Amino acid sequence: MLALGIETSCDETGVALYDTDDGLLAHALHSQVAMHAEYGGVVPELASRDHIRRTLPLLRQVLTQSGRALDEIDAIGYTQGPGLAGALLVGASIGAALGYALKVPVIGLHHLEGHLLSPLLEPNPPAFPFVALLVSGGHTQLMEVRGVGQYHLLGETLDDAAGEAFDKTAKLLGLGYPGGPALSRLAQEGRPGKFKLPRPMLHSGDLNFSFSGLKTAVLTLARNQPGDPQTLADIACAFQEAIVEVLVSKAIDAIKRSGFERLVVAGGVGANRLLREKLTAKAVKRGAEVFYPKLEFCTDNGAMIAFAAAQRLKQGAAAVDGFTVRPRWDLDELEPAA
């Protein structure tokens, strides 16, 4: 089966072709970072308009790269949600139109399911079951995963997601957009242990998170310190240390509680170098394995959607009639297709 994946949930347009026999054939991505940087954040209307301009040229690009023809596509998957309604509608309408023209099934996918399954694109994919840590700009969740569509929520953030906390803290420190990567780079220049910030809910006894208070603590600290470059780097370092310690502690606790030996980390924050180092070290110490997607598949991309579409359709998932989007959609609402 040759599956086309279309991802347009926010500010990145992703298109990919995945073959169930030959694996990932080609993928292409256009990021809108430069456009939104002028406004200090994502402008939904501009994001939607740019998806309209980019999706079909990217489709032609992946067809050329893969050496496949449009009429060879057997199925189409698009991101149905969660995300920006206007942006989602672009991918949904293009996917539905192509499916109608080609007379192939079209399926709407959950954005976070794509992230969760993205490590399965690697040469050494994790076997089910496993614990998944989903960390991105909009979500921080721990999931128990027993198979495609078999997801059970173990814990989630009660306020800001980890990536959101990175972006807001970067703004407090006067860093540019996108703030998360800028803060991570600045943190590498900081002196570990120079400042100590709180670890919210570290000892809460559950697997939930909270990061809004950490952002407030950074604001208080920054107001009482000189604004020289080294001090800002030290504050960024302290913030990153706090976030990473909480994420690592909760993820390891989830492994203990589940009894599983495998942990999957996915989402944009999953690319953070310090998180990968600390989490891998802690997991190995207790005899568990950690699986990460390639850095290019941590952020939004079409490859994860094409792969998820292929897996869902192999299970017998029903094609959509028309098209709909779901800007708000909890991952644990999903069920196995068959």
Phi, psi of 134 (to 5 degrees): -100, 115
pLDDT digits (tens, 9 = 90+) for 106-130: 999 999 999 999 999 999 999 999 9
Residue 338 pLDDT level (bands cut at 50, 70, 90): low
Q: Are residues 139 and 286 both part of a single domain?
A: yes
Q: Are residues 203 and 308 both part of a single domain?
A: no
Q: Are residues 164 and 38 both part of a single domain?
A: no
Q: Is 122 among the domain residues?
A: no
| DSSP 3-state of 133 | strand
Compute the average pLDDT of residues 316-330: 87
Q: Are residues 89 and 148 both part of a single domain?
A: no
Q: Are residues 211 and 319 both part of a single domain?
A: no
Q: Is 309 among the domain residues?
A: yes
Q: Is 123 among the domain residues?
A: no
Q: Are residues 157 and 112 both part of a single domain?
A: no
Closest by CA position to 252, among listed 281, 293, 274: 281
Q: Are residues 75 and 210 both part of a single domain?
A: no
Q: Is 338 among the domain residues?
A: no
Tokens of 23: 């694996």
Give the residue numbers spanning the domain of 228.
129-292
Q: Can you say whether the dihedral through the CA atoms of 79, 170, 182, 57 is positive or negative?
A: positive
Q: Can you say whether the dihedral through the CA atoms of 323, 10, 305, 112 is positive or negative?
A: negative
pLDDT digits (tens, 9 = 90+) for 264-303: 999 999 999 999 999 999 999 999 999 999 999 999 999 9
| Structural contact between residues 98 and 56, judged by C-beta atoms closer than 8 angstroms | no
Q: Are residues 323 and 285 both part of a single domain?
A: no
Compute the average pLDDT of residues 44-58: 98
pTM of structure: 0.95
Hey, what amino acid is at 90?
A: V
Q: Are residues 305 and 258 both part of a single domain?
A: no
- Top mean pLDDT of 52-56, 136-140, 283-287, 319-323 is at 52-56
Q: Is 97 among the domain residues?
A: yes
Q: Are residues 140 and 280 both part of a single domain?
A: yes
| Cα-based angle 273, 279, 281 (whole degrees, multiple of 5) | 105
Q: Are residues 256 and 149 both part of a single domain?
A: yes
User: What pLDDT shows up at residue 90?
Assistant: 98
Q: Is 225 among the domain residues?
A: yes
User: What pLDDT shows up at residue 8?
Assistant: 98
Q: Is 137 among the domain residues?
A: yes
Q: Per the structure, how many domains does the chain have?
A: 2
Q: Are residues 156 and 262 both part of a single domain?
A: yes
The CATH number of whichever domain residue 269 belongs to comes to 3.30.420.40
How many Cβ atoms are within 10 Å of 319's Cβ, its own excluded? 13
